[in-house]
Amino acid sequence: MSSQSAVNLEEVGKLIAKAKTLARRYRELTGRPIGITGEVAEYEAARLLGLDLADARQAGYDAIRRMGKVEEHLQIKGRCILTKNPGQRLGKIDLKHRWDAVLLVLLDGDFEPTAIYEAKREAIEEALKAPGSKARNERGALSVSKFKSLGKRVWPTPA
């Protein structure tokens, strides 16, 4: 998706709503997830935070936050939280590519956003390079709870 205008994001939203319904029904029938969490997370982050989505398969980042002349390149990770499993992990965070921060979009069982957290690159690099965890060091994977501790909640805005 190239930088989406509000009109295009609205159209994407209509498709995402249909995909959410399909994914819920699929899980009801099979007990298995269907792989839409990443796309839903990217759409919801763009919609809720006013981001421009990057071109599909852009190496390193999924969206751009524009603040005047400043641009931040953001990776977006999504996680559908169905149970209270503290060991749930994010997908690989690749340090080889250009990006400034990572957004974690938490979704409920209906694929609706419940919270968005943001962690800056420096904090993530430090955590991924810390000795001790093969999942962190070799696979670039952080647990949801570790990611939350590295960053801050950006939606809904804390009171």
Q: How many domains does the chain have?
A: 1
Instruction: Count CB atoms within 10 A of the CB of residue 72.
Output: 17
Low-confidence ranges of the chain (pLDDT < 70): 1-7, 86, 133-138
The boundaries of the domain holding residue 117 are 6-155
CATH number of the domain that 113 lies in? 3.40.210
Q: What is the 3-state secondary structure (H, E, C) of 117-130?
A: EEEEHHHHHHHHHC
- Quick check: is 118 in a domain? yes
- pLDDT for position 134: 60
- Quick check: is 36 in a domain? yes
- Quick check: is 1 in a domain? no
DSSP-derived 3-state class of residue 103: strand
- pLDDT for position 138: 66
Residue ranges of E strands in 61-100 = 63-67, 70-80
- Quick check: is 74 in a domain? yes
- pLDDT for position 7: 37
